[in-house]
Structure 1
Amino acid sequence: MLRVLLGDWRHQGRAILLAALCLSFWSTQTHALEVGETLTGFAELRGRQVPLPEGTWTVAGLGNNTIVSGVAGAYGTIENAVLLQLNGDKVRGIVEINTNAISVTEGWGTTDACLRDGVLAKLNLYRTAVDGFCYFVTETSRPAASGTEAWEAAKAFAAEGGYALPMEWLTVGFRLSNRHDILDARYHFDGLELGTLAPSISVWTPETVVDDPQKYAVVNDLNAWAGLTSELFEAGLRGRLSERLHGLSVPQPLALVEDGSVDPGAIGRASKAARKRALEDLAADGVIRQDDLAAYFAAVDNTAPPPTLESYYQTLVAKMISFNLFRVSVDYLLAYIVTVSAAVSGYITTAIVVTHSMAQIANDLAWDSYIAGQRRDGSELVEFGYIAQPVEKRS
């Protein structure tokens, strides 16, 4: 009798497990994008999500993309979406998204824009032989040749609606990949908010940016926006962006606050807006008292802003200088105790500093050589067909 009951229980357990797996499978099926659909907050493609700057974005083109350069292991089955942000009869912003339909095991490499000189700003957050995350800021222009299926559809969509497409943009791009999957997104902005500094009017090169304080400030703002938005891509690759945004949108990168910088309190899971929304939910559920809500809001408002990349590197440089001054002082003191001569101690200390510096350089070169020898296909460049290309240096 017990054996029969156990058999029934096992049979029912398998049925329940099968039902749960089926339910899990269907619950993970994502809504397929459709041309003409409008989105806010984020766009989802193949279950991977990309944050969208505030405002309404229209899906203008969908299709398959190709790998222009890279390894065969990355396959050629890439899904591509192009979204437009419309303002009157103009296209004010474009987002192009690329993600894989077939997973791999050797990673997806990196993009040239995160490595080459000539971009306005770039940062490689991490990079190994099988995964990586980077972003960049640069000026791009629309190529004359035909583009991807999605881009051709988007151009037709804009032409049919009478929307003017800009020829040149300021572009912020992200490349995030792990061993199996990739999320490649590029945001193109016409920059008309910048007036005479708009990329269709003014020249944007590293040289002109350095020489122009206004352009330098704009690039810093775009770089700060990219750095703050980058944390959302990690969640987006796992399809968990809705948990981070809580129905909110990231701000427009060129929509500056009063002091001329991007507001860090408006972006990301630790943003002030997201924390206040979470507090309101906790109060509604009775976890915290409504009477305490004002005090919690005040605590959020009084929180110091997160450190920027610039402040991080400033602190890093200061720490390096202070450590080396301490190290050199100790070397000099030890040499002086032995020689009791200021001149000889100075020569010894200088020799130690030079020797250590050369040893450090040799050690770095040896490690670079070792890492290069260990690299596999996943660390190579993998480029897709994009709607824009870097602007050639203009006089």
Structure 2
Amino acid sequence: MQKIAATIFLLLLLSSCIPENSSDYAEVKVGENYENFLRIGTADMQIPLPKGVWKLVGIHNYKNDVGTTFSVGLLADIQDGLLERSIVFEVPLGTTRTGYEKNERCERGTYQFTRNRFNVEGGIQDCWYVNHNLFRMNAQFEETDLKPDYMKQARRFFIANDVKTPTETVYVKYHKASSTKLMNVWYHFNPETKGFAGSSATSWGKSSWHRDQTKSDPTRSKYIQDLKNWGIRFEEFVTAGFAGKVGEKGQIPDMIELAKDLKGKKPSPEAKMELARLTEMHSEGHITSEEYGELVLYIIWKY
């Protein structure tokens, strides 16, 4: 399953290159509801949304150290005045040809769970992990404690609409990048909806959701395992969303049948271009020989 997911990510990555400095951005509005996916940033990326209605309650843009403009925001799933789930997204408003720095969080060993497939400086990056977070967007914290504007906007919305928010969340975070684009998405879950008491922790390390604490707590360990299983299942949607193909999820053919169908078929000119790029990735050690063989079939099939 892990190899298949990695192969699909590379396939979609190869087939989703977009022009440099693209100006075709999707616009979203605070207060609007969204379902299925949120289209924002460079035109072909989609933030996949789990089943339900999601309200955008905060968003703002910022520039990183090299001048790339990013959009970061928060979507909320509110049920009967309670914040059950939230999604934080971060995407660039444009593309680059220089790629992105390695994500050191993908290589940390302090989270509940980490799966790091690729973390190439300026190239392919693909990881996800399960972690916990102090939720500061409520009346317990002063607005001055919040630096990003989207968090301030969300806090104001929750207070103005009497939305009960958790003291902590447990989240599944996905990080995907190529040499031209990047997508970060955090899927936050409220443990209080499952009967867990609110936390009084004042720091990440002292939380009852820290992995050193959950190891000896069977109930919390099961909650974490359930989120890990959810993350494994949902990753294919995130992978498809990174390529702007959420609607095409599940349409990739079976490898064995594909090999039979393509026997003797010559690659098209477009396929030859993609195969040349694939061969370069393989020679540089970014993909294994097994992944290379599968991707060759996919590219010939696609074109």
- TM-score normalised per structure 1: 0.50
In the alignment, is the contact (CA less than 8 A) between 2:167 and 2:199 conserved in 1? no
Q: Number of matched residues?
A: 216
Q: CA separation in 2, counterparts of 1:90 and 1:193?
A: 9
Structure 1 residue runs without a partner (length 5+): 1-27, 245-268, 272-370, 372-395
1:91 to 83, 94, 97: 83
CA change 1:98–1:52 in 2 (3 A) is: same
Tell me whether 49-58 or 107-116 shows the greater mean CA deviation.
Answer: 107-116
Q: CA separation in 1, counterparts of 2:220 and 2:173?
A: 18
Q: CA separation in 1, counterparts of 2:68 and 2:25?
A: 22
CA change 1:233–1:119 in 2 (3 A) is: same
CA change 1:215–1:166 in 2 (3 A) is: closer
1:162 corresponds to which residue? 162
Residue 270 (structure 1) shift? 7.3
With a CA cutoff of 8 Å and minimum separation of 6, indicate the structure with the bigger relative contact order. 1
Which amino acid in the other structure matches residue 55 of structure 2?
A: T
Q: CA separation in 2, counterparts of 1:177 and 1:84?
A: 25
Residue 182 (structure 1) shift? 0.4
Matched, 1:241 2:234: no
1:140 corresponds to which residue? 133
Find the residue that maps to 2:55 and give its secondary structure: strand
Taking only aligned residues, the RMSD between alpha carbons, in angstroms, comes to 2.6
2:97 to 102, 105, 114: 105
Which amino acid in the other structure matches residue 155 of structure 1?
A: R
2:214 corresponds to which residue? 209
CA change 1:83–1:29 in 2 (3 A) is: same
Which amino acid in the other structure matches residue 196 of structure 2?
A: T
Find the residue that maps to 2:132 and give its secondary structure: strand
Matched, 1:50 2:44: no
1:40 corresponds to which residue? 35
Residue 228 (structure 1) shift? 2.0
Structure-to-structure mapping, 1:51-70, within 5 angstroms: 51-67=48-64
CA change 1:218–1:242 in 2 (3 A) is: same
Structure with the bigger percentage of strand: 2
1:231 corresponds to which residue? 236
Residue 196 (structure 1) shift? 2.9
Residue 84 (structure 1) shift? 0.7
Q: Which structure is larger by alpha-carbon Rg, 1 or 2? A: 1
CA change 1:141–1:236 in 2 (3 A) is: same
Q: CA separation in 2, counterparts of 1:95 and 1:134?
A: 17
Which amino acid in the other structure matches residue 208 of structure 1?
A: Q
1:177 corresponds to which residue? 177
In the alignment, is the contact (CA less than 8 A) between 2:166 and 2:192 conserved in 1? no
Q: CA separation in 1, counterparts of 2:107 and 2:212?
A: 18
1:324 corresponds to which residue? none
Find the residue that maps to 2:130 and give its secondary structure: strand
Structure with the bigger percentage of helix: 1
Q: CA separation in 1, counterparts of 2:166 and 2:197?
A: 14
- TM-score normalised per structure 2: 0.64
Q: CA separation in 1, counterparts of 2:247 and 2:161?
A: 31
Q: CA separation in 2, counterparts of 1:219 and 1:149?
A: 30
Deviations 1:109-133 (A, max 9, x none): 3434322232111111222221211
CA change 1:179–1:113 in 2 (3 A) is: same
Deviations 1:180-214 (A, max 9, x none): 10000111111123313666697112222222232
In the alignment, is the contact (CA less than 8 A) between 1:172 and 1:226 conserved in 2? yes
Residue 175 (structure 1) shift? 0.6
Find the residue that maps to 1:171 and give its secondary structure: strand
In the alignment, is the contact (CA less than 8 A) between 1:90 and 1:165 conserved in 2? yes
Deviations 1:121-169 (A, max 9, x none): 1111222221211111011113552232222212222222221222211
Q: After TM superposition, what 4+ stretches of structure 1 lie above 4 angstroms from structure 2?
A: 28-31, 197-202
Residue 42 (structure 1) shift? 1.4
Q: CA separation in 2, counterparts of 1:209 and 1:43?
A: 33
In the alignment, is the contact (CA less than 8 A) between 1:109 and 1:131 conserved in 2? no
2:152 corresponds to which residue? 152
Which amino acid in the other structure matches residue 180 of structure 1?
A: T
Q: Aligned residues: percent identity?
A: 19
Find the residue that maps to 2:97 and give its secondary structure: coil
In the alignment, is the contact (CA less than 8 A) between 1:134 and 1:176 conserved in 2? yes
